[in-house]
Amino acid sequence: MERKAKRIAQLLKTLANENRLAIFRALMEHPMTASQIAEKVPSLTQPALSRHLALLKANGILNRIDPDPNACYYIADRKTEDVVNVLKQYY
């Protein structure tokens, strides 16, 4: 039980940033390259976008199809998408 609580807390902590949440919501549409994500979240600089993508990937929320710089990012854990959809319903 404690391990699950830690995982849930880490997930919410990672998504509790408006920029990371905006990135995640953009990827809910379909997989995208970093350039495509930058178009959807224009308030982020390229270095900031890269840091947010790396953090989301490190926490198992996103993944990349290919390690190439033009690789597509996608949502790795669909349960996270369910959590965001539930929150979206109420807020």
Look at residue 10 and tell me if it is in a domain.
yes
Nearest Cα neighbor of 18 from 1, 50, 43 is 43
Look at residue 38 and tell me if it is in a domain.
yes
* Torsion angle of the four alpha carbons 58, 48, 20, 38, in this order, in degrees rounded to the nearest 10: -110
pTM of the shown model = 0.89
pLDDT tens sequence across 52-84: 999 999 999 999 988 777 889 999 988 999 999
Look at residue 41 and tell me if it is in a domain.
yes
pLDDT number for residue 5: 93
pLDDT tens sequence across 16-36: 999 999 999 999 999 999 999
List C-alpha distances in Å: 76 to 1, 43, 60, 73, 81.
Answer: 23, 24, 7, 9, 10
What's the CATH number where 81 sits? Answer: 1.10.10.10
Query: Among all chains, which residue has been given the structure tokens 């990937």?
Result: 57
Is 41 a residue whose pLDDT tops 80?
yes
Look at residue 91 and tell me if it is in a domain.
no
The Cα–Cα gap between 53 and 62 comes to 8
How many structural domains comprise the chain? 1
- Give residue 25's domain range: 2-86
